[in-house]
Amino acid sequence: MLRCPRSPLRLRLCLCVLLLLLLLLPGAPGHGGDAGPGPGAEKTGSRWAWPAFQGLQERLRAAGALSRRYWALFSCRVWPEHCEEDEEAPAGPLAWGRALLGQQYLDILTTWYCSFQDCCDSGDCRISNNFTGLKSDLSVRLHGQHLAQELVLRTVRGYLELPRPEKALVLSFHGWSGTGKNFVARMLAENLYRDGLRSDCVKVFIAMFHFPHPTSVDLYKEQLTGQIRKTQERCHQTLFIFDEAEKLHPGLLEALRPHLGRQAPENHRAQSPRSIFLFLSNLGGSVINEVVLRLLKAGRPREDVALGDLQPRLRAAVGEAPDSGFGHSCLVKENLIDFFVPFLPLEYRHVRLCARDAFLSQKLLYTEELLDEIAKMMVYVPKEEQLFSSQGCKSISQRINYFLP
């Protein structure tokens, strides 16, 4: 049984052997089967011995040149990002060109290699960048967040399509719990990477889980920067998610500065790296709710609430937050955050849609009356209007369990 090589070097040796065997098969160009001595030729010390040896040398030299040529062609098929186009090699003494082995032979070798190793047009099969899927998920699965839908899709797609980005893309998600911040972060991971949150190119940090002890901040800084550096070395496109960002120690936020600012031109690689940093926070949630409530009372449809209605007050609220170092960090004060993304409070109709999606995801039957029952179990604020769900769509799945047999 043929064992598959685990490195390009072993694969190259294997390819050379295959090509050499083909050259030495009867009927191959330059093969001595048809040019050998006749029945009356002498045996030992014959005048045929030296020409035969010369013919073998010629075939071996041609095999070496041909294997190098086909290795270049084959590697361009498998590793296009490292491919350097060269001019067609001149025909050797055996007059072998690419046409003799042909496209079919290259296809066979490529299929064989790709049967045990990742191959794809992008050069890194861990990265999918499915913007069509992302647009669909944001419009179909995310409810009540027209601002986040438009802003996230536009900024992420625009950034990843830049030929040479000068800095990382930094987005800060703000809003009450249960409004969809983590949901959108997961959508990004699922649509940008083949393995979603499990991808080698994605790292998730939860403030109070990964960095619980303020006295260990120096150790955390070393671990955090080390993980970021290793992930960026491993992948040319990375995603870093920081949940509970308002609880991050100021020292950790300061340690992120070199990774978020603009890169000096001399630090650019041949293939410019791309990094997206997401900071998820409840900061500014109350301000967002106040602005939306005021606009709704004034008769403005929810879908007409614009980013300009929220951005100034949201930035101010984040920067003035008294109990968090996030607003006083270099991220905010040095404008390292590209966009503050507001997540609006969810209404009764949005909670019903979340309940419906939860039933569908579990392949359970539901009725409109059942969706109303679940939506009514949530607490709504303010006390007079009772317009916004205080927990958004959080814990909807658990509430569905109350109605299961």
Kindly report, residue by residue over 305-322, the tens digit of the pLDDT.
999 999 999 999 999 988
Say if residue 263's pLDDT is above 90: no
Q: What is the pLDDT of residues 188-207, one digit of tens each?
A: 999 999 999 999 999 999 99
Residue 85 is given by DSSP the state -
Burial (CB count within 10 angstroms: exposed 0-12, middle 13-18, buried 19+), residue 112: middle
Per-residue pLDDT reduced to its tens digit, 333-358: 999 999 999 999 999 999 999 999 99
Tokens of 278: 């997401």
Averaged pLDDT, 222-241 = 96
Distance between CA atoms of residues 104 and 96, nearest Å: 16
Higher-pLDDT residue of 60 and 259 is 259
Distance of CA 188 to the CA centre of its chain: 8
User: CB–CB of 382/182 below 8 Å?
Assistant: no
The predicted-structure confidence for 43-96, as pLDDT tens digits, reads as follows 445 555 666 666 666 766 765 665 666 566 656 655 555 555 444 444 444 444
- Cβ atoms 283, 321 nearer than 8 A: yes
Q: Is the model more confident about 242 or about 3?
A: 242
List the structure tokens of 315: 């930035």
Residue type, 197: L
Q: Which of 316, 287, 291, 318 is nearest to 305 (CA)?
A: 291
E strand or H helix that includes residue 166:
none
pLDDT of residue 71: 63
Nearest to 340 by CA among 148, 136, 112, 139: 148
- How many Å apart are CA 187 and CA 200, to the nearest integer? 16
Instruction: Give the range among 24-38, 250-264, 286-300, 379-393 with minimum mean pLDDT.
Output: 24-38
Quote the pLDDT of residue 61. 72
Closest C-alpha among 196, 269, 278 to residue 243: 278
Q: Identify the H or E element spanning 342.
A: strand 339-342
Residue 345 DSSP one-character state:
P
Q: Which amino acid, 32?
A: G
Q: Average pLDDT, stretch 216-242?
A: 96
* Rounded Cα gap, residues 313 and 36, in angstroms: 91
Whether residue 168 has pLDDT greater than 80: yes
- Helix 131-140 / helix 146-160 crossing angle, nearest 10 deg: 170
Q: Where are the alpha helices (DSSP H) in 141-284?
A: 146-160, 181-192, 207-210, 217-234, 250-255, 257-260
What residues pair up with 274 in beta bridges, in sequence order? 237
